[in-house]
Chains A and B, each alone.
Chain A
Amino acid sequence: MSFSKQQLQKFAHLIRIEISDEKLEKMKIDSVIEWLDKLQKIDTTGVEPMLSPVQHSLLRRTDVVTDKNIRDLLLKNAPDETGKRAGYFAVPKVMDE
């Protein structure tokens, strides 16, 4: 399978990374994808996909709060200082006036 420049730009948009067309080209994404195509020739009819090597069933625990009152700890690495001082994460405006 090969992807057009537009498709690659769409993927870059989906993962929220600004990449110029020149840089995308330099990344040689197509040569990587082309190489991945070699898997197509393998007959996997009836094979169950393996998404994890884990063989045990996941354990359950009671749904209770295990930590609390850690607001300031969570805010310590916040990039916006003004929000941090006021006790919240400040983010860019997401709604129009």
Chain B
Amino acid sequence: MNLTDLTIAEALEKLKSGEITATELTRAYLDRIEKFGDQLNCYITLTPERALADAAESDKRYAAGNPLPLDGIPIGMKDLFATRGIRTTAASHILENFTPEYESTVSQKFIDAGTVLLGKTNLDEFAMGTFSKTSFFGAPISPYQIENKLTAGGSSGGTTSAVASGLAIGGTGTDTGGSIRFPAAITGLVGMKPTYGLCSRWGCVAFASSLDTPGPIARTVDDAALLLSAMAGYDEKDSTSANAGFYVKDRLTQIGLNKLKIGVIKEFDDVEISPDMKKLFDERIEDLKKSGAEIITVSIPNILDALAAYYIIAPAEASSNLARYDGMRYGLRVEGKDLIDTYKKTRAAGFGEEVQRRMVVGTAVLSSESYEVYFMQAARVRRLIADAFNRAFEQCDLIVCPSSAGTALPLDSDLSPLEYYALDLFTVAMNLAGIPACSVPCGLAENKLPLGMQVVGRAFDDMRVLQLAKHIEEFAGLNNKPSEIMGK
């Protein structure tokens, strides 16, 4: 039995029955990390001692007959979640040596659920990017066709690289404009952006506070649901946290497809996507129809403007959020000739180019001469998009759409900033509206690389989003066993 090919649901069964121990499972992951970790560059910081200690505690609980919900499950934590006593970098030079003295709510909930922490996964600097190559620590890569050095996506690309390659059984991401769904889609994984407010942002390094959404990344929809069950819930430390929960015991219950009304977004028809994406999306729609679902067309009139609205709102919020990195109380400090010069030198040395670009853009759109023209106009377009989704959900139960235009590109693709931003086209609108969306594998393209499609629901309908995603997962039947993807 190849332990690192197990899903979370399978591993939990074997742990409960005593067939395997948490320590054996953890060692299997640590061994595989030893073999492939450097090549994939999916972890910024490894925590093998912590992992073995977590696993030992877990085994004690199994032996005593009172295991926790995810006891002994070895996960990777995006290095944006503060972990007490473990370096938390946000993949930035400015936080390269930052070790928090507090634990983020999400990572604490995973501790409370009994998981084993393997390490902190790589990402784009401050989660700004789509290839994870703005990371100060270099980019992770996809385990698919590894000799071609393809991107594992971004910004949660360290977690997708780790989970797809069997260097973690599942993990966390954060999704501000697609940072869970895009990387999951191009690495054959399930990536769930829950409803805004379902998972606490407390202790998660802030990028754009009205958009940032922590969520799970896993190999199956059931696994994503199990991870989300651990992460979700009200948190008094986050004022935007909702009084809502999410809970699945072992596996998701089935949702009947008969008479389920599923919307397809008309405006996305005009977007150029790869023939593979179109073919696989149409095939899955046919599968849904054959199973009795009713497919209708819905309109979100301004959805193609969501990208520009997003690239105003997110940089604006980021330019304000990142003001805290001033080199005075923590993080990098580069001495200058006076206080202002120290700030400027610290931030010039500490932030990478993309982060600097977004902060300049964010400051420009917030400046007195352009605040109304850009920022407030973007906030109004955001309202139009959110309202249009609400109207669409009066006609249908759930919406489906592609997750990306095509398969993973080589890491060294030379794209302009705007070309990178365009990769978020299918994902940003759901962040603006704050609604749940799950990317689920919909099949393999001609080039043998995976593609994903999204299931989108109304706010707090996360359960049905995952239930429909599970049907699509079954129709697609993608094999994402790490040992077979990597051939070893």
Contact in complex: A92, B99 (CB < 8 Å): no
Separation in Å of the A36 CB from the closest CB of chain B?
Answer: 5
Contact in complex: B348, A77 (CB < 8 Å): no
Known pairs A1-B370, A17-B344; A42 contacts B319 (CB<8 A) = no
Contact in complex: A48, B242 (CB < 8 Å): no
* Residues of A contacting B343 in the complex (Cβ-Cβ under 8 angstroms): 16
Contact in complex: B386, A29 (CB < 8 Å): no
Contact in complex: A39, B377 (CB < 8 Å): yes
Contact in complex: B364, A29 (CB < 8 Å): yes
Contact in complex: A50, B386 (CB < 8 Å): yes
B329 at the interface (CB under 8 A from A): yes
Separation in Å of the B202 CB from the closest CB of chain A?
Answer: 13
CB closest chain-B residue, reference A13: B344
B381 at the interface (CB under 8 A from A): yes
B379 at the interface (CB under 8 A from A): yes
Separation in Å of the B408 CB from the closest CB of chain A?
Answer: 25
* Residues of A contacting B359 in the complex (Cβ-Cβ under 8 angstroms): 15, 17
A64 at the interface (CB under 8 A from B): no
Partner of A77, one of B308, B331, B459: B331
* Residues of A contacting B197 in the complex (Cβ-Cβ under 8 angstroms): 53-54, 56
Partner of A36, one of B311, B333, B363, B386: B311
B342 at the interface (CB under 8 A from A): yes
Contact in complex: A61, B386 (CB < 8 Å): no
A6 at the interface (CB under 8 A from B): no
Known pairs A1-B370, A18-B345; A53 contacts B433 (CB<8 A) = yes
Contact in complex: B101, A35 (CB < 8 Å): no
Separation in Å of the B264 CB from the closest CB of chain A?
Answer: 23
Contact in complex: B383, A76 (CB < 8 Å): no
Known pairs A50-B383, A58-B239; A76 contacts B101 (CB<8 A) = yes
Contact in complex: B386, A59 (CB < 8 Å): no
CB closest chain-A residue, reference B418: A35
Contact in complex: B329, A11 (CB < 8 Å): no
Contact in complex: A54, B379 (CB < 8 Å): no
Partner of B305, one of A39, A58, A77: A39
Separation in Å of the A20 CB from the closest CB of chain B?
Answer: 9
Contact in complex: B312, A36 (CB < 8 Å): yes
Known pairs A28-B416, A53-B459; A39 contacts B381 (CB<8 A) = yes
Partner of B302, one of A42, A76, A77: A42
Instruction: Give the secondary structure class of B's interface.
Output: helix
Contact in complex: A42, B374 (CB < 8 Å): no
B309 at the interface (CB under 8 A from A): yes
Chain A 3-41, CB-CB to B under 8 Å as 1, else 0, gives 100011001111111110001100111011101101110
Partner of B308, one of A27, A39, A55, A80: A39
Contact in complex: A54, B196 (CB < 8 Å): yes
Contact in complex: A35, B329 (CB < 8 Å): no
CB closest chain-A residue, reference B213: A53
**Residue in A15, A28, A53 whose Cβ sees the most chain B Cβ within 10 Å:** A53
Separation in Å of the B24 CB from the closest CB of chain A?
Answer: 36
Known pairs A44-B377, A53-B386, A55-B459; A89 contacts B339 (CB<8 A) = no
Contact in complex: A50, B380 (CB < 8 Å): yes
Contact in complex: B376, A77 (CB < 8 Å): no
* Residues of B contacting A58 in the complex (Cβ-Cβ under 8 angstroms): 239
Separation in Å of the B254 CB from the closest CB of chain A?
Answer: 29
Stretch from B42-50, B71-79, B350-358 that touches the partner: B350-358
**Which residues between 55 and 72 of chain A lie within 8 Å of chain B, taking CB atoms?**
55-56, 58-59, 61, 70
Contact in complex: A11, B364 (CB < 8 Å): yes
| A24→B364 CA distance, assembly (Å) | 13
A86 at the interface (CB under 8 A from B): no
| A29→B197 CA distance, assembly (Å) | 32
| A32→B386 CA distance, assembly (Å) | 24
Chain B 301-317, CB-CB to A under 8 Å as 1, else 0, gives 01001001101100000
B243 at the interface (CB under 8 A from A): yes
CB closest chain-A residue, reference B302: A42
**Residue in B236, B374, B380, B434 whose Cβ sees the most chain A Cβ within 10 Å:** B380
Stretch from B282-290, B320-328, B463-471 that touches the partner: B320-328
Contact in complex: B360, A15 (CB < 8 Å): yes
Contact in complex: B384, A79 (CB < 8 Å): no
Chain B 162-201, CB-CB to A under 8 Å as 1, else 0, gives 0000000000000000000000000000000000110000
B19 at the interface (CB under 8 A from A): no
Contact in complex: A92, B338 (CB < 8 Å): yes
**Which residues between 404 and 450 of chain B lie within 8 Å of chain A, taking CB atoms?**
416-418, 421, 432-435
CB closest chain-B residue, reference A95: B339
* Residues of B contacting A40 in the complex (Cβ-Cβ under 8 angstroms): 373, 377
| A3→B312 CA distance, assembly (Å) | 15
The 6 nearest A-B residue pairs measured at CB: A53-B434, A49-B379, A77-B330, A44-B380, A50-B383, A79-B333
Q: Can you give 5 contacting A-B residue pairs, CB < 8 Å? A: A33-B365, A53-B432, A77-B329, A79-B327, A91-B339
Q: Which residues of A contact B (CB under 8 A)?
A: 1, 3, 7-8, 11-19, 23-24, 27-29, 31-33, 35-36, 38-40, 42, 44, 47-56, 58-59, 61, 70, 73-74, 76-80, 89, 91-94
Beyond known contacts A17-B360, A79-B332: 4 more, CB 8 A cutoff: A16-B343, A47-B384, A52-B240, A53-B459
